Amino acid sequence: MAARIAIAALVLGAVVVAVAYGWSALFVYGFFAAIAGAVLLGARVGGDWIAGASRRRFDDDDRRR
């Protein structure tokens, strides 16, 4: 549900930018939205990787490392 709301907010923002400032501003908006999406994806994947590594550390029988 939160993902749908976020996508709707991005689309609404794109429409507002396109109407208010024109098509060239829409490309700039898209560029910055793509950067934000890439950072979000990287944080998500990195966080999952760190959490998995931490869980594996405590599941391991050899705790001398």
Task: Tell me if 28 is assigned to some domain.
Answer: yes
Residue 65 has pLDDT above 60, yes or no: no
Task: Tell me if 12 is assigned to some domain.
Answer: yes
Task: Tell me if 55 is assigned to some domain.
Answer: yes
Task: Tell me if 32 is assigned to some domain.
Answer: yes
Count of domains for the chain: 1
What SS3 class is residue 61?
coil
Going by pLDDT thresholds of 50, 70 and 90, the confidence category of residue 60 is: low
Tell me, letter by letter, the H, E, C secondary structure of 15-64: HHHHHHHCHHHHHHHHHHHHHHHHHHHHHHHHHHHHHHHHHHHHHCCCCC
**Whole domain around residue 8: which residue ranges?**
2-59
Residue-wise pLDDT tens digits, 12-57: 999 999 999 998 999 999 999 999 888 888 888 888 888 888 787 7
Task: Tell me if 49 is assigned to some domain.
Answer: yes
Task: Tell me if 9 is assigned to some domain.
Answer: yes
Q: What is the pTM of this model?
A: 0.63
Task: Tell me if 65 is assigned to some domain.
Answer: no
